[in-house]
Amino acid sequence: MTKTTKAVSRRKFIKSGAVAAGAAGAATLAMPNIATAAPTTLKIQAAWGGGIFLENAKSYVDRVNKMAGKGLKIDLLSVNSVVKTSQMQDAVHRGVLDGAHYVPAYWYSKSKAASLFGTGPCFGWSAQEMLGWIHYGGGKALFEELMSSLGLNLVSFFNSPMPAQPLGWFKEEVKDSSQMKGLKYRTVGLAANVLQEMGMAVVQLPGGEIQPAMKSGLIDAAEFNNPTSDSDFGMQDVSKHYHLASFHQSQECFEVTFNKKKFDSLSKELQAILEYASEAENSNFYWNNTLRYADDLIKLKEKHGVNVYRTPDSVMKDQLKAWDVVVDQISKEDPFFAKVVKSQKTYAKKVMNYLLLNQPDYGIAYKHHFG
């Protein structure tokens, strides 16, 4: 190799090295912008100030945060942190909140059809089958139609199949449906219409106000949701008569709702995480909560001296009759309500025909082993 050739090669090497170094330097300067990009943060308010339902909301949030990594973070706010529970849906619609964790019955004043997605009539199904209808039986499309008709900028996911809610706490044992007439009773959603049809005077109160209202005599009887939450509210301190089983709210679930504009701005991957974390909560809720409810029911009986009864069939049969009246009345006034009920009945008739024929009577096996 000649001196001239060596010099040219050396110049090429130095030049290419400088270019490479410049590119590396540019990459180094650009890298911090990527690495330190802040995650999208969603502010979500729950309708719960504490207790097992706030734990359930945290479980959903933790699931999302772990799967989303650095791309998305949810900050969960407890009840009344930004707005009152009754204002949560409007706050999400307007973008004051990015999301909310509550139940459809909390906003059914906008449309009675809302209650059908959480606290509607029982067609022989449980909350498991109601969620099946939402996800696979046409319920989701009907909900989106409802959102559109109300002009609400929302996207919602439904999860957590709740066991049937107890009839609740009374001053004495209820042995017959006739004892219900005239009682001042707390419930929410369409259940209020049903129990009014049965002759009760219904008062709709937030969960935290139930125990003081019963203690002061403002109400005679009340329900909230389950033995754990009822214990947390201190219902055992104002009543010793607790009735399980009822058709007033025999299937309910949580609704996790997001501002649609905010949701649409997320990547498809993050949207999927918000949706599928909701589905995963179905199993987590049922496994976790049913054991907690069972443990706390035992504590109510053994530690607090609460008398636990199964609600008489006469009450539950009258509840079904009252549901028929309420559903018929609202269906005549609201064609969309009637449309949703028809869809639910179609799904329940088919699915429950199979399940009721196929499921053994588990009570027989329980009595065989435990008496």
Q: Which residues pair with 45 in a beta bridge?
A: 77, 100
pLDDT digit string, tens, across residues 255-310: 999 999 999 999 999 999 999 999 999 999 999 999 999 999 999 999 999 999 99
Q: Which residue has the higher pLDDT, 14 or 107?
A: 107
Q: What is the pTM of this model?
A: 0.86
CA distances from 171 to 199, 222, 297, 309, 368 (A): 17, 10, 18, 13, 34
> What are the boundaries of each domain within the chain?
40-162+251-290
List, in order, residues 6 or more apart from 343 with CB less than 8 Å away: 133, 137, 138, 139, 142
Confidence check: pLDDT of 123 > 70? yes
117: closest CA among 64, 156, 90?
156
Whether pLDDT at 88 is above 50:
yes
CA 101 – CA 59 distance, rounded (Å): 12
pLDDT interval class at 24 (50, 70, 90): very low
Give me the helices (H) in 303-371, please.
313-333, 335-358, 362-370
Q: What is the pLDDT of residue 7?
A: 44
Burial class (CB in 10 A: 0-12, 13-18, 19+), 9: exposed
pLDDT at 308: 98
Higher-confidence residue of 300 and 5: namely 300
169-205, pLDDT tens digit by residue?
Answer: 999 999 999 999 999 999 888 999 999 999 999 988 8
Q: Which CATH number describes the domain made up of 40-162+251-290? A: 3.40.190.170
Helix (H, G, I), strand (E, B) or coil at 241: strand
What is the pLDDT confidence band of residue 60, given thresholds at 50, 70 and 90?
very high
pLDDT at 5 over 60: no
| pLDDT of 59 higher than 80 | yes
pLDDT of residue 1: 52
**What mean pLDDT is reported for the chain?**
90
d(CA 308, CA 305): 9
